[in-house]
Amino acid sequence: MIRDRTGEPEDEPVRILDRYILRKHVGPFAFATTTIAFLFAMRVLIDLLHLFASRNLGFLTILETFALSLGWILAMTFPMAVLVAVVMTFGRLAQDFELDAIHAGGVSFLRVLVPVLLAAAVLTVLLVFFYNRVLPDANHRLKNLTADIHKMRPTIAIRERVFMDDFEGYRVLVREVEEEEDIIRDVTIYTLDPREPTRTIHAPWGELVYEDDGNRLVIRLHDGEIHEVDREDASLYFLMEFETHELIFDDLGTKLERREGGSSRGDRELSAGAMRERIATLAVEKATQADSLEAITSRSLAGMRRGIRSLVASEDSVTLSPAEFTTRARVLMRKIQNAERRLAGKQRDINRYSVEIHKKYSFPVACIVFVLLGAPLGVRMRRGGIGVGAAMSFLFFIVYYLATLGGEKLGDRGIIPASLGMWSINVILGLIGILLVLRRDSRLHLGSRNDR
């Protein structure tokens, strides 16, 4: 027993127990974080593999792209790792009957969760900082870098027995390529510039020399001939033999050019404070446009009413003919429709920013929710082993992620409030977890009373 004379648990043994429970989570949390991050990283590498292979990218650029991708990978990994670690740890504690021994000492299940909840709260605060300070800049830099990489032309590959039009003003045919030594054989090159005479260059062999990180290519031909026909007089034919002839192609677009300013920032590239400022600006713009639309509509309707009254009264000085009235009505309707579309666009932007603000807080808070939910689930699956616990954790995280994604879409469209879309799944799972914890404590309390 670790109760004092008043019936309350003694402080020192409980502190030792808290440290023990936390140490039990270190290994599973590290394992889950590493495994989940590795799976996400493999997905990123597979997506970028073709892009890296087709561009002449340096190792540092590839490393930078991968490092920037770690931003959203870690943002997804930590909450899921918390759930996996809690399920695995409490499942193992229950399987080894350690929880039974702890409860026999008078420590409730809720009290056992206190150090884990505090650790989850600390991680939540760190993730909120990460979501608002680190992740937006990482996402922005990653978007700009991948856009610059996509603008690069793929590294020009000399292909055998194929007419290649990769070189401006020329068409190249190579019948054999020795890639290891950058040697080409039986080369035929046709000029395509209409301002120049028709020229055909043939050489039995040549060399490929890449310079400026692949952005400059020199085709050095040996022991060949140049055949030229006058464009105006086809009877004039020229033949020139050469020992060495070079064709130089500059600015092939295979070199990465980094933009200075980059593109404008989207909602996932802004902090919560920056998005609140944009929402305030959009709200002012929306109100101004609504007031402008109301004023224009009032003036137009007033003029049309005067015209209708003059027509009904059959006055000599009719201010508005029926054809003009119809034209003005159509113009006014188009103005109203265009203004409504602009106002709807402003509202969509406000909704999107509002959803993203709540997301920056609701997703980190999921760490606390997963502790409340994962601990009783782990105890219930004590005999299932690590595999069952990890699978169940993954299933619950998929449910959480899909619910969050659905709430995000509904919030973006304005069907439900942004707060409801992003927080409802946290509230539901959190309440379920609290009920499971309290239910277990009530059973333990009832069992101890029966033992007496």
Question: pLDDT tens digits for the chain (452 residues)?
Answer: 455 444 555 567 778 888 999 999 999 999 999 988 998 888 888 877 777 776 667 778 888 888 898 888 998 899 999 999 999 899 888 888 888 888 887 888 888 999 999 999 999 999 999 999 999 999 988 888 887 777 666 556 677 888 887 777 888 888 888 877 778 899 998 888 777 777 888 999 998 887 766 667 888 999 989 888 776 666 677 888 888 888 887 766 666 667 666 667 888 889 999 999 999 999 998 888 888 878 877 777 776 676 666 656 555 554 556 677 677 778 777 878 888 888 888 899 999 999 999 999 999 999 999 999 999 988 887 655 566 667 777 888 888 989 999 999 999 998 999 999 999 999 999 999 999 998 887 765 555 444 44
3-state SS class at 82: helix
State both tokens at 186. Answer: 């039986």
The gap from C-alpha 296 to its chain's centroid, in whole angstroms, comes to: 42
For residue 298, report the phi and psi dihedrals to the nearest 5 degrees: -65, -45
Contact 68, 141 (CB under 8 A): yes
Q: State pTM to two decimals.
A: 0.72
- Alpha helices per DSSP H over 106-176: 109-129, 135-151
Q: Which two tokens mark 294?
A: 């109301």
| Torsion angle (degrees, nearest 10) of CA 240, 241, 246, 249 | 40
Buried b / exposed e over 365-404, threshold 16 CB at 10 Å, is: bbbbbbbbbbbbbbbbbbebebeebbebbeebbeebbebb
- Residues 413 and 421 sit within 8 Å (Cβ to Cβ): no
Tokens matching residue 187? 């080369």
Lookup: tokens for 379: 């105890």
Distance, in Å, from the CA atom of 172 to the CA atom of 159, rounded to the nearest integer, reads 10
Give, as one character, the DSSP assignment of residue 416. Answer: S
- What is the CB neighbour count within 10 angstroms for residue 4? 12
Tokens, residue 348: 């969509």
Block residue for tokens 């003694």 = 10
Unique residue bearing structure tokens 């959480």: 400
Report which of 202, 199, 171 is spatially closest to residue 185, judged by C-alpha positions: 202
Rounded Cα distance, 191 and 104, in Å: 91
